[in-house]
Amino acid sequence: MFDNLTGMFQIDILFPQFSLLLLKDTGLLGQFFIGLAQFFLLILKLFFRESEGARLFF
């Protein structure tokens, strides 16, 4: 679930095209979107912490 090369969570299952874009672009824009994805996943974790469905993904 955690990719050591990029330091971000793998989101291949949920967003395959999005993660491929992140892995291809390693420039400044790519770093921005990687940070944005990490922030989005953190918000999802905090929001769905008590949810039963979220435990399957996190």
CA distances, 17 to each of 12, 21, 22 (Å) = 8, 6, 9
The residue extents of the domains of the chain are 2-49
Query: What count of other Cβ atoms lies within 10 Å of the Cβ of residue 34?
Result: 18
Arithmetic mean of pLDDT, 7-11: 50
Amino acid at site 52: E
pLDDT value at 33 more than 60: yes
pLDDT band of 38, cuts 50, 70, 90: confident
Distance CA 51, CA 19 (A): 24
pLDDT value at 19 more than 50: yes
Total-model pTM: 0.37
Percentage of the chain lying above the pLDDT 90 cut: 0
